[in-house]
Structure 1
Amino acid sequence: MTSGLSQPTAVSDDETDAVAGMGRRRVVGTLFLVVFIDLLGFGILIPVIPLYAKFFGANEFVGSLLIATYSLFQFVGAPILGRLSDERGRRPVLLLSITGSVVAWTLFGVAGELGPLLGATNGLVVLFAARAFAGAMGGNIATANAYIADITPPSERAKGLGILGAAFGLGFVFGPAISGIVSSPFALDVLRDLLPSVVPVTEFTIPSFTAAALSAANLGLAFVVLPEPRRRETSVEASAGSRLRQLYDAVTAPDIGSLVAAFFLASFAFSAFESQFIFLTNDQLGYGTTANAILLTYIGVVIAIVQGGLIGPLTDRFGEYRLALTGAAIQVVTLAAVPFSLSWSFVPSIGPVDSGGVALAAVSTPLAFGNALTNVSLNALVSLNADEDEQGGAFGLTQSAASLARTFGPAAAGLLYVAVAYWTPFVVAGVLFVPILVLLGRVARAQVRPATE
């Protein structure tokens, strides 16, 4: 590469007409399905990973490092995959990343059997290797966004990217739900009778194999129906080091610096909560994969309802700035209340759900509501305060900030959980939203452009 622009490879007339022949809407719909199924497999593993690590003898800190490994390798690997998609094509990189998911989730399922064969004392080293590989191959969202940019005119691009965002969110809603179903005692008993004895059947392995099977089906779908678009000349994605420099420059910039810093802290705090949530429910309530999957599905549904249906009318009435402040203020209280809600004796049990589970769900409802408000509003504020020709860079900054936050947030939270007390990660996460309120307070009202612009 001799310049800052990628040099797209030649595209034949047949390839050029492939997208037009299918119809742009059909291609976008196919891409939505590909991204949704891929994120579905990812979401299935969310309730599994922390307890799977504990199954192999890891404490909460090591388990948190396992969670953070994905984001770390995604941050490093995404620029490489972005550059490959510019040079070799969107379709090959999408197929490559989905293949990586198949391999990674299969390794998860056979970690207990493969670990001793590799000379490890148990399968924990395999889990780390699989998690790192999945992260390195996790650039399919960025590639899918580039695919949308290739096939849509500027006037329709926001709508196309919004469709992919919906696929991303739905994967995190339905993934844990599927995990809860396939890891239930009934499902495991049925599978032990149906599957060969060589297949390990546990509450950890079956969700892993399910994610791998979905990814394999997704690979076949993408291979058969997804065409290669004509690529536009776009800037090669910056290296990890350059992205760090860009992030630093953005944080110190007078126009969006406070907003980017607030977005980083919000992502850091919520990732700290997410990483310790399952450890908390397992240690204090004895919840396994299925019970945690139900709780996570409920939280995901609340977030999806707010982001998909309520955020528009709320923004029209109150504006992004007030919603960001409100969401941050809600999370100051609710994040800190999470660990203490488990011992609220005044909360009754409901049916098979004990009082601790009911109280946790009650606290998680406003917490999910506040998180949805903060995330969407901060993203919108960054976009509104960036110049028209810098929108891509603005979203790239928030994505880089989120990746770094999801790397360091779980690690710091796991250390607090083990070294201090189980409740400290949640209280610290709540406290971190106080400087977010301060940072938002520094944003001059004149600087926050009205949404009507």
Structure 2
Amino acid sequence: MKKFIPAYLLTFVNVLGFSLLMPILPFVVNSYGAPKWVFGLLITLYSAFQFIGAPWLGSMSDEKGRKPILLISQTGTLLSWIIFVIAIALPEYPVFGFALPLWIIALSRILDGITGGNTSVTNAYVSDLTTTKEKEYIFGYLGGIAGIGMIIGPGLGGITASTSIGYLGTLFTSIFISVVTLITIFKWLKETHPVEKRVAKKKTNIWEILIIPLRIKRVDPSPLIKVLFTMKFFFSAMMGFYIGTMALFLIDLFDFDVKELGLFMFVIGLFLSLNQAFVSKFFISKLGAFKTLILGLCCCVLGLIAITLTKNLWLFILFYYVLNLGLSLCFPVFNSLISVNANPKKQGEIMGISEAINSFSMACFPVISAIIYSTIGNHLYRYMILLPMAALVFAFIGIRKYGKNTFQP
């Protein structure tokens, strides 16, 4: 399984780069006197430009190969961390109502986003190397690796930010990890998309970049892929609302500082890793991918309601596990189902669209959810259940139209 090590590392670093920042961004924003919604905005900026970059990088990898695009992407991530360090060192001059460092931090998130769509390329790289049967468990392993990143990232982010050099400790850690990853890609990742399988680049106008339905129309995937794309949109929208508010919710509910928030998110990541590495694999083997997806969406509905019912930390952790289990069951299944049913010649572009759906949701909904949360607090989570419920509705529409066996890898 050595051939998958670069993909595992890339998946790990992608999640780690994001999870390292989660416990410190709310405090960074607060330290410059900015309102809570700016936290959501910084997440939105990264995802908005990832939304533009992901399908472009995926399509470029179909034309130029996987390795050069991954090198470009990881270089952009490294540069973004360096810009973040520069921002922290700048004086707090006000510019259009906000401190100058916040504007530079926003710039770093934009750069990381535009070059950070390498998840679609990584997924295409894995698809190149795997058989139909292997896809089912390899994408599960990738989910487990992502879970490890979710474990280590928040705890590491909180601990390194609580040292004598503050947030710079987290940023220097991120730079080191990015350098190691870049060297690994350069030295050990082998090209998996040979010249004879590459497709000529098609002209794409700006509307095809910004409007996902136009991308889907151009690629013309199977009707089944379209159903999965629709389900993923509602699931990703839920994740956008969740990501934009969960750190704020935990700070308000338990009065966490940066280290405590990081350690709590470490526990959350532990749940996610164990669930994705072991529990999701068990359910997929027993129920199949599609039934596992249904179960995951049901757990999301129950978990979103349950976490608003208590202020007791231990009971909250128990309730949160239900939500966490739902997320863990859904993450690997979406990618495996989409990958198995995608046209092999368009793997990069189709996985790019899949990632763009996620990026679009993260681009739009975190800042919206942060604004709404500032008004109605945790009541927001009770409205959020409409999103996984909508995904369930489309799942059952798909079953009726195509038959439940069609959804199995």
Q: TM-score per shorter chain, which class?
A: 0.7 to 0.9
Query: Is 2:209 the partner of 1:240?
Result: yes
Name the residue aligned to 2:367.
411
Amino acid at match of 1:283: D
Name the residue aligned to 2:377.
422
Contact 1:112 1:122 (8 Å CA) reproduced:
no
The TM-score with structure 2 as length reference comes to: 0.82
Q: Evaluate the alpha carbon distance shift between residue 251 and residue 372 of structure 1 in structure 2; reply closer, same or farther with a 3 A threshold.
A: farther
RMSD: 3.5
Name the residue aligned to 1:352.
none
Query: Is 2:323 the partner of 1:367?
Result: yes
Q: Evaluate the alpha carbon distance shift between residue 426 and residue 55 of structure 1 in structure 2; reply closer, same or farther with a 3 A threshold.
A: farther
Deviation at 1:364, TM superposition (A): 1.0
Name the residue aligned to 2:79.
103
What percent identity do the matched residue pairs reach?
Answer: 25
Please state whether the residue corresponding to 1:277 is helix, strand or coil: helix
Contact 2:90 2:101 (8 Å CA) reproduced:
yes
Amino acid at match of 2:253: Q
Deviation at 1:67, TM superposition (A): 0.8
- Separation (CA, whole Å) in 1 of partners of 2:193 and 2:293: 39
Q: After superposition, give the CA deviation of every residue in 1:63-95 in whole Å (9 maximum; x if it has no partner).
A: 101111111101112244345545655444333
Deviation at 1:378, TM superposition (A): 4.5
Query: Is 2:16 the partner of 1:40?
Result: yes
Deviation at 1:404, TM superposition (A): 1.3
Q: After superposition, give the CA deviation of every residue in 1:235-263 in whole Å (9 maximum; x if it has no partner).
A: 44865247441347999986454443222
Name the residue aligned to 1:179.
157
Amino acid at match of 1:296: M
Query: Is 2:268 the partner of 1:299?
Result: yes
- Larger relative contact order (C-alpha < 8 A, sep ≥ 6)? 2
Equivalent residue for 2:51, pick from 65, 75, 91: 75
Q: Evaluate the alpha carbon distance shift between residue 84 and residue 267 of structure 1 in structure 2; reply closer, same or farther with a 3 A threshold.
A: closer
Name the residue aligned to 1:211.
174
Name the residue aligned to 1:61.
37
Contact 2:141 2:277 (8 Å CA) reproduced:
no
Contact 1:38 1:214 (8 Å CA) reproduced:
no
Q: After superposition, give the CA deviation of every residue in 1:237-293 in whole Å (9 maximum; x if it has no partner).
A: 865247441347999986454443222111111221122111112233221222222
Contact 1:49 1:67 (8 Å CA) reproduced:
no
Deviation at 1:124, TM superposition (A): 0.9
Q: After superposition, give the CA deviation of every residue in 1:175-218 in whole Å (9 maximum; x if it has no partner).
A: 2232233234xxx1xxx3xxxxxxxx22x332122111221233
Query: Is 2:280 the partner of 1:325?
Result: no
Q: Evaluate the alpha carbon distance shift between residue 118 and residue 286 of structure 1 in structure 2; reply closer, same or farther with a 3 A threshold.
A: closer
Q: Evaluate the alpha carbon distance shift between residue 340 and residue 208 of structure 1 in structure 2; reply closer, same or farther with a 3 A threshold.
A: farther
- Separation (CA, whole Å) in 1 of partners of 2:150 and 2:349: 25
Amino acid at match of 2:246: F
Query: Looking at CA atoms only, which structure, 1 or 2, has the larger radius of gyration?
Result: 1
Name the residue aligned to 1:271.
240
Equivalent residue for 1:134, pick from 94, 107, 112: 112
- Separation (CA, whole Å) in 2 of partners of 1:45 and 1:327: 26
Q: After superposition, give the CA deviation of every residue in 1:298-343 in whole Å (9 maximum; x if it has no partner).
A: 222222222221223323433444433332222223213324422x
Contact 2:161 2:170 (8 Å CA) reproduced:
yes
Deviation at 1:96, TM superposition (A): 2.6
> What is the aligned length?
399
- Separation (CA, whole Å) in 2 of partners of 1:295 and 1:242: 37
- Separation (CA, whole Å) in 1 of partners of 2:57 and 2:330: 30
Deviation at 1:172, TM superposition (A): 2.6
Contact 1:38 1:215 (8 Å CA) reproduced:
no
Q: Evaluate the alpha carbon distance shift between residue 299 and residue 117 of structure 1 in structure 2; reply closer, same or farther with a 3 A threshold.
A: same
- Separation (CA, whole Å) in 1 of partners of 2:120 and 2:343: 21
- Give 5+ residue unaligned stretches, structure 2: none
Deviation at 1:40, TM superposition (A): 2.7
Contact 1:91 1:227 (8 Å CA) reproduced:
yes
Amino acid at match of 1:210: T
- Give 5+ residue unaligned stretches, structure 1: 1-24, 193-200, 343-354
Please state whether the residue corresponding to 1:110 is helix, strand or coil: helix
Instruction: Looking at secondary structure, tell me which structure has more helix per residue.
Output: 2
- Separation (CA, whole Å) in 2 of partners of 1:96 and 1:122: 28
Contact 2:150 2:273 (8 Å CA) reproduced:
no
Is the deviation greater in 218-227 or in 426-435? Answer: 218-227
Deviation at 1:164, TM superposition (A): 4.8
